[in-house]
C-alpha cells in the first residue's frame, strides 16, 4: 500500500509551521531569549525534515502492489 505523496509547497508549509509553533511554545514556557527559543524550533524543523524525507515515496520505485505476487 502506497501513501499519497505531499506536494513540495505543502511540505514547505509544514516545515515553516513546525518551526514557528515550536519556537513560540519555547518562548512562552520561559526560554531566556528568542535565540534560545529558535534553537528548539530548528531542532524540530530538522526532525520534521528527516521524517518527511524518510516517509515520502521514492521516485521511480516500483509500487509493491503493481509488481504482483511472488513467483516462488
- Count of domains in the chain? 1
Output b/e per residue, 12-31; b: 16+ Cβ within 10 A.
Answer: eebbeebbeebbeebbeeeb
Q: Give residue 21's domain range.
A: 16-55
In a domain, 61, yes or no: no
pLDDT given at position 37: 97
Residue 35 maps to a domain: yes
Residue 33 lies in a domain: yes
Q: Are 55 and 11 in contact (CB under 8 A)?
A: no
Query: Is 51 within a domain?
Result: yes
Residue 20, in any domain of the structure: yes
Query: What pLDDT digit, counting tens, does each position of 13-66 carry?
Result: 999 999 999 999 999 999 999 999 999 999 999 999 999 999 988 877 666 566
Residue 5 lies in a domain: no
Residue at 32 is within a domain: yes
Amino acid at each position: 500500500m502506497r501513501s499519497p505523496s505531499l506536494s513540495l509547497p505543502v511540505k514547505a508549509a509544514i516545515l515553516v509551521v513546525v518551526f514557528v509553533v515550536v519556537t513560540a511554545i519555547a518562548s512562552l514556557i520561559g526560554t531566556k531569549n528568542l535565540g534560545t527559543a529558535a534553537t528548539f524550533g530548528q531542532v524540530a524543523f530538522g526532525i520534521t525534515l528527516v521524517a518527511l524525507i524518510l516517509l515520502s515515496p521514492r521516485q521511480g520505485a516500483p509500487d509493491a502492489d503493481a509488481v504482483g505476487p511472488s513467483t516462488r
